[in-house]
Structure 1
Amino acid sequence: MTHSFFQPPATSRYALRQLSAPGCLVEGDFPARRSEGLVGIDLLVENGRIAAIEPAGTLPAELGPDLDASMVLPGMVDCHTHLDKGHIWPRQPNTTGDGAGAAKATMADRSAHWSAEDVRRRMEFGLSTAYAKGVVAIRTHLDSLAPQSSISFPVLREMRERWAGRIDLQVSSIAPMDIFLTDEGRQLADIVAESGGNLGCVTRFGKYPDDPMPAELDEALANVFTLAMERGLDMDLHVDESTDPRSRTLIRVARTALQKDFAGRILCGHCTALALQTDEFIEETIAACRDAGIDIVSLPTVNMYLQDRSPTARTPRWRGVTTLHEMKATGLRVAVAGDNCRDPYYAYGDHDMLDTFTQAVKILHLDHPLDDWIKAATATPAAIMGIDRGTLAVGMPADLIVLKARNYSEMLARTQFDRTVIRDGKAIDTSLPDYRLLDDIVHL
């Protein structure tokens, strides 16, 4: 049962007329702008693709409905998730709500439950939810300490094939950096290469949980780059996800990339400790990232949940997010993403990139003006992932989200439960999978 507010014509050729779209996402010149960078357009859909984009009111009325300035977006892109962790909260909550508690709870759950079937069931649930929300591409990290890597990566390959044509699915490894001082790091790099993935890790050491900058950091970081270069892999790192201002590994990543003359893509996620540094060090770090061609993804909902949490009744003093405005202003490609969902790192979430963007606007002050920030959840993560998604262009698949909201104010003020999700030109059922489907594995 669909909950969409309208259904497009059930024909191979039709028009969606009188739409509002973010001008920054629309191919072509549409000078008649509405508020906050929105443009009025008509879309012609033919055989599952966008056949034409015209100024609003151009296409004949008989081709399709007048949508009264409803907003249209391309399918959204989530470039940083953890589908293998998703939905374990009911059986393994994080009683402290902080990062240390999350790591401890996840380790316990992984050791006890993460069989191939368990990971597969929860991953399928997450993908089904994201699909119903209008997400067209996802990059997921997989916990990769042995032996879990040999369990989860085959499941990911299976799911990637199963979901082909519905969600473009990419994968990155995640493990403590110190495994790259051992042969386990080389073995993991081989598994990642076999899976067509991105080599990733956390820029922290498992054996030094209280030291964000151990003496072996540069050696381990150099090894990660060498393994990636030998196998032609891009890199995707969890960096400085901390409230500790001593955590300054982002600049080390950038300098290592420059020293190694690394030619691949590098995505660095979180980078929250950078916001606690001096303005001078922030500028130096961002400049190094720009020189190294590093992309940044912020995970605002999860980091606001985890960072600066106290065991006592103390109000958090900061939002736990990185310096995204400064990075974007300097020319870095920046994205926002969903990260964790109903697991020990984040008790909430629903694989919904529209909701992630809406919350990011409020948490990171991506407004007044909104400008082209919508690209951070669409075109920019698509470019970071190297896929042709996230824009409205002639010839692109008609993978669209149509909202009843007519502008950003309406979109940001009210949750868009009644969105219409169109895939290959046809409206899909936006009913969500019932949590009860997981009852037998999450032990409710």
Structure 2
Amino acid sequence: MTSHRISIPASGAYRLANLRLHRAHMGESQGFTFDTDGFSPADVTVDTGRIKAITPAVGTAPADEAVDCRGGIAFPTFVDCHTHIDKGHIWPRKPNPDGSFPGALEAVGADRQTRWSADDVEARMEFSLACAYSHGTKALRTHLDSLPPQEDISWPVFETVRERWKGRIDLQAACLFGIDSARDEAWFNRLSDIVARHNGVLGAVTYMVPDLDALLDRMFAKATDLGLDLDFHADETDDTNAVSLDRIAEAALRHGYEGQILVGHCCSLARQADDTVKATLDKVAQANLSVVSLPMCNMYLQDRRHDATTPRWRGVTLLHEMAARGINVCVASDNTRDPFYAYGDLDPLEVYREATRILHFDHPVASWPATIAANPARAMRLEDAGLFKPGAGADLVLFRGRSLTELLSRPQSDRIIIRNGDAIDTALPDYSILDHLMEPQTHEH
């Protein structure tokens, strides 16, 4: 049995030799030779924390000063564009009683009302981000439950946490509430001001209320007025009558909205008739929406049955059809160890691995690796993330896996994370850190 561990120089200039880079992660690919899965042998030269050069691998043993990566795949550090770190890790004290979507809503609502103090939210956010950082995440967007009085608790906490993590994880936040709450114009205006003050994203959960179009108009007008991007949860159901993705696209076109719009879930689209799907996707492409699927959480919640029958569908949206139209598509972690998803650890490689199996991101691999890197970076307006290119930060995730099947057959728990040219400590935080928050007690706001 043989094993190896790459040693990264502590500082200065060095060359990573004999890597395998994917076409979807390269800003410039001219001169490289790619295999059928889209990988090419490459060398990456690092100097003073940035990528100095990316060149085809020479094909011979590297010089003494180079780091021999032995054909291992490298990804850019990850971009996780849809998470809920304010909910994260409450499962031990508030599990989902039956694994259903209504069960998740009820459990989270009860926990939020009694336990989500500033200290509680901050501790769980910190734990979540420590996990994400150790797995190789560079940028992350979280949704923040913003129903009263939580907006006055979680947003200041997020601001504190974002400043603390500056330089390690670029953090964004989007407010989250049921869109019918926007009928209260005074409250909605106040929340929008809070979001704008914290440089956030205006978001909501959309569903088929009778006045959905008017409420969307209110959100788009406010986003335009305050210069905010938009982020929606849409159609997280198998109900074919749930068409809020279509309504969001229509609203964007109606308002001539020029900001970024990210829409998550869109599950019902996979259950709708072909002509409905085509009409919706044509609008989504025209409106320049980005779409993120949450394959692990959606598969956990959607079509869960309690009558000794097996679920009949996967719960994910139509990313292949979207990508074929040029729509910017992503996958992301979503919930972690809370009533909406009992598992997960904010590891985008796990998300990509499961998405490959659930959504068939293979045969061909095509540009699907971009769904956890360049595509979410685009949706989040991140310039220095998601791509390997000269001049960009030397932020890489190095794996021992040398091919797609090697990469995705093991969890790659021995990955090496390079940030600003330096290898970081990848030890994950122990769950016991949160034990004091799981005691059977009640925190009143």
Q: TM-score range by the shorter chain?
A: over 0.9
CA distance in 2, matches of 1:226, 1:247: 23
- SS in structure 2 opposite 1:296? strand
Mapped to 2, the partners of 1:69 and 1:158 lie a distance apart of 41
The alpha-carbon deviation at position 5 of structure 1 amounts to 3.5
CA contact (8 A) 2:62 2:68 kept: no
Residue 4 (structure 1) shift: 9.5
- The Cα of 1:218 is off from its aligned counterpart by 1.5
* Aligned twin of 1:168: 170
Query: 1:124 maps to what in 2?
Result: 126
Q: 1:97 to 1:387 in 2, by over 3 A?
A: same
Q: Is the 8 A contact 1:4 1:419 kept in 2?
A: no
* Cα contact 2:24–2:368 (8 A) shared by 1: no
Match of 1:87 in 2: 89
What percentage of residue pairs aligned between the two structures are identical? 46
Corresponding position: 1:325 with 2:320: yes
Deviations 1:129-154 (A, max 9, x none): 10000000000000010110110000
Q: Which amino acid aligns with 1:191?
A: I
| Greater displacement, 59-68 / 377-386 | 59-68
2:414 is matched with 418
Q: What is the aligned length?
A: 434
Give 2:389's aligned residue: 393
The amino acid of 2:437's aligned partner reads: I
Asked whether the equivalents of residues 74 and 397 of structure 2 are also in contact (C-alpha less than 8 Å), the reply is yes
> What does residue 443 of structure 2 align with?
none
User: Secondary structure of the residue that 2:210 maps to in structure 1?
Assistant: coil
1:375 is the counterpart of 2:370: yes
The answer (yes or no) to whether the contact 1:14–1:46 under 8 Å persists in 2 is yes
Deviation at 1:60?
A: 5.5
Q: Deviations over 1:60-89 (max 9, x none)?
A: 612222221111111010000000000000
Q: Which residue of 2 aligns with 1:344?
A: 339
Deviation at 1:35, TM superposition (A): 4.0
Give the secondary structure class of the aligned counterpart of 1:242. Answer: coil
Does 2:432 correspond to 1:431? no
Aligned equivalents of 2:273, 2:404: Cα separation in 1:
34
Q: State whether residues 78 and 137 of structure 1, in contact with CA within 8 Å, keep that contact through their aligned partners in structure 2.
A: yes
1:159 equivalent in structure 2: 161
Which amino acid is 2:161 matched to?
A: M
**Alignment partner, residue 192 of structure 2:** 189
**1:174-213 alignment to 2 at 5 Å?**
174-182=176-184, 183-204=186-207, 213=208
SS of 1:65's partner is strand
Partner of 2:280: 285
Q: In the TM superposition, what is the alpha-carbon distance from 1:30 to its structure 2 partner? A: 3.3
Off by >3 Å, runs of 4+ in structure 1: none
Q: Which amino acid aligns with 1:433?
A: P
Conserved in 2, the CA contact under 8 Å of 1:138 and 1:170? Answer: yes
Where structure 1 has 5 or more consecutive residues not aligned to the other structure, the ranges are 205-212
**TM-score, with structure 2 as normaliser:** 0.95
From the superposition, tell whether residues 441 and 35 of structure 1 become closer, same or farther in structure 2 (CA, over 3 Å).
same
Cα distance in 2 for residues equivalent to 1:111 and 1:4: 50
- Quick check: 1:306–1:345 contact (8 Å CA) kept in 2? yes
Q: 2:221 aligns with which of 216, 222, 226?
A: 226
Query: In 1, Cα distance between the equivalents of 2:107 and 2:88?
Result: 13
Contact 1:5-1:420 within 8 A present in 2 as well: no
- Partner of 1:62, secondary structure, is coil
Q: Residues of 1 paired with 2:316 and 2:101: CA distance?
A: 14
Cα-Cα RMSD: 1.4
Note if contact 2:180-2:209 (Cα within 8 Å) is conserved in structure 1.
Answer: no
Read off the aligned partner of 1:198 and give its amino acid letter: V
Contact 2:51–2:394 under 8 Å retained in 1: yes
Counterpart contact for 1:267–1:294, Cα < 8 Å: yes
